[in-house]
């Protein structure tokens, strides 16, 4: 009886030491789930979720401070992906944070009106606006995420939102119409 207790105690200590050693030797820096959440977010960096960018929002979700349905640019697909990752329920987008756009958008600067003040350049979170003080500012549309953060700072209101229309090379088919025309048996 005594030997059984000693044996079990020794086994428990050995495993305890192995675990303690592993916890120190194989420690992971940071929280890996934040990276996984950030990988699912659209990187628009717009702040509609009330956080200062996609990474802060990912960190908030990981901490449990934010819900998964606060991202309008991500839309339904992102909510579903986050629910899958974190094993929580899918819920509809929280309308307080904005609406899903029907078409992707970018912004365009009206060159006749631009005064070269660089305020929009400083506002862009992905450095998608080209220009310098008193030089023409231009949006590099391929890099514009449609976050619209450049629009409020512009003192002459020369930045406009432009919808990006689909082309034959990047269109998406629709779910089929459920109605169809059928020949009636005569």
Partner 1 sequence: MKQTEEISKFDGGLTLVAYKHLSTGSTISTMEQSKTYIIPLQQHIGVISQPLVKPGDRVLKGQMLAKPGNMISAAIHSPISGVVTDIKEHDVPHISGLPDQCIFIDNDFKDEWIERKPLADNYNQSTSSSLRKIIRDAGIVGLGGAAFPSSVKQTEMNIKTLILNGVECEPYITCDDVLMRERAEEILSGADIIGHIIKARQCIIAIEDNKPEAIKAIQTAIEKDSTGFFKVQVIPTIYPSGGEKQLIKIITGKEVPKSRYPAELGVLCHNVATAYAIYRAIYFAEPLISRITTVTGHGVAQPQNIEVLIGTPMSSCIKHCGGYTDDSDELIMGGPMMGFSLNSDNIPIIKATNCLLVTAKAKNTQKQKHLPCIRCGKCVEVCPVRLLPQQLYWYASSKNIERLIEHHLFDCIECGCCAYVCPSDIPLVQYYRFAKTTIWQQERERKASDIARQRHEFHQHRLEEQKREREERLRKKREMLKNKSNEKTSDDKTSKQAAIAEAVARAQAKKAEHNKKKETENKTD
Give the binding site for partner 1 (CB under 8 A): 38, 41-45, 53-54, 77, 80, 124-128, 143, 145, 166-176, 178-184, 186
CA separation (Å) from 133 to 114, 117, 125? 11, 6, 18
Output 117 or 126, the one with its CB closest to partner 1.
Answer: 126
Output 112 or 170, the one with its CB closest to partner 1.
Answer: 170
Output 4 or 178, the one with its CB closest to partner 1.
Answer: 178
Which residue is it, tokens 């950030």?
Answer: 38
What is the Cα–Cα distance from 161 to 51, expressed in whole angstroms?
23
What is the Cα–Cα distance from 80 to 68, expressed in whole angstroms?
9
Output 48 or 145, the one with its CB closest to partner 1.
Answer: 145
Cβ of residue 125: shortest distance to partner 1, in angstroms?
5
Output 98 or 104, the one with its CB closest to partner 1.
Answer: 104
Residue 96's Cα: distance from chain center in Å? 17
**DSSP string across 117-146:** --HHHHH-TT--EE--TTS--EE-TTT---
What is the Cα–Cα distance from 62 to 19, expressed in whole angstroms?
25
């Amino acid at each position: 009886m005594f030997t059984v207790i000693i044996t079990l105690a020794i086994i428990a200590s050995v495993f305890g030491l192995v675990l303690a050693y592993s916890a120190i030797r194989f420690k992971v820096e940071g929280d890996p789930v934040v990276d996984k959440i950030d990988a699912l977010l659209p990187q628009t960096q717009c702040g509609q979720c009330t956080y200062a960018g996609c990474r802060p929002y990912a960190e908030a979700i990981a901490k449990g401070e934010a819900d998964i349905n606060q991202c309008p640019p991500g839309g339904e697909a992102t909510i579903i992906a986050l629910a899958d990752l974190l094993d929580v329920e899918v819920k509809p987008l929280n309308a307080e944070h904005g609406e899903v756009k029907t078409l992707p958008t970018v912004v365009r600067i009206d060159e006749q009106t631009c005064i070269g003040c660089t305020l929009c350049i400083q506002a862009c979170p992905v450095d998608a606006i080209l220009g310098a003080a008193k030089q023409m500012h231009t949006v590099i549309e391929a890099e514009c995420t449609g976050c619209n953060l450049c629009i409020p700072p512009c003192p002459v209101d020369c930045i406009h939102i432009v919808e990006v229309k689909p082309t034959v090379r990047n269109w998406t088919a629709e779910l089929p119409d459920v109605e169809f025309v059928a020949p009636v048996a005569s």
